Amino acid sequence: MEAPQRPAVLVTGGAKRIGAAIARAFGKAGWHVVIHYGRSAAEAEALAAELPSAIAIHCNLSDADAAKDMVERLAAYLPDWRVLINSASIFVPDDDGDIDMENFRKTLRVNAGSPARMAQAFLTHARSKGGKRVVHVTDQKIANPNPDFFTYTMSKHALAATVPMLAMSAAGPEDRVYALAPGAILPSHDQTAEETEVSHRLNLLERRTGAGEIADACLFLAEGWLANGETLYVDSGQHLLAQPRDVIYLAREMAG
């Protein structure tokens, strides 16, 4: 396959939900988009066919060695790979009662371990004509934690911790490593439309934050306008509120 001449971006978890919104935004902006998927092959291939310049690539992010190998193979293939967006994550309901260690190990690998290793490999091996950008999609929970989704929240804190470390040690002078911390964006788990409408307005501005805003923020960070190691919150101010529970459950308590 002939290598694309456009600047390239890899979006993990890019076949569905927020990842797909990010992939579409970069495609519309003229980028070559590499859409990573785990189990959503049909969705990834359909999205790649929809975009002007894109490919779909499979990798099980539970296997950190496979994730690193994927990055190294892409680095050899892409002549101008500028951005890695780690959007894929596992979001399993649990709380502070008793950690399920199997879920903990898998969540930590997918949400923190593999993204950090991929970032290291990308910064080391990728060729770029305009500097390299790593964007770790974290969560507003890194500033506004609560006991719900306990293991997920732990993993996002771990991922966020890698941002300043990578910015200091692994990035070159033209490179940037960022965190992008969204709030509640799309319906989760068994939420109804009514619950989503209420829960997603539990923020400082009392408005819903759209997936398109996350995609636009990724395009902004792809230009490297912020200082290295910064976190950008796109959550309508949710992280500025003290919330004792996840907004899914706060909305249900309000309805009850």
pLDDT for 10 equals 98
| Regions of the chain where pLDDT drops below 70 | 1
C-alpha torsion angle, residues 88, 15, 27, 46 (rounded to 10): 170
Give dist(CA 181, CA 178) in Å, integer: 10
CATH node for 8-187+210-236: 3.40.50.720
pLDDT for 1 equals 66
The residues spanned by each domain of the chain are 8-187+210-236
pLDDT for 48 equals 98
pLDDT for 189 equals 74
pLDDT for 146 equals 95
Give dist(CA 115, CA 54) in Å, integer: 21
- 143 residue type, one letter: A
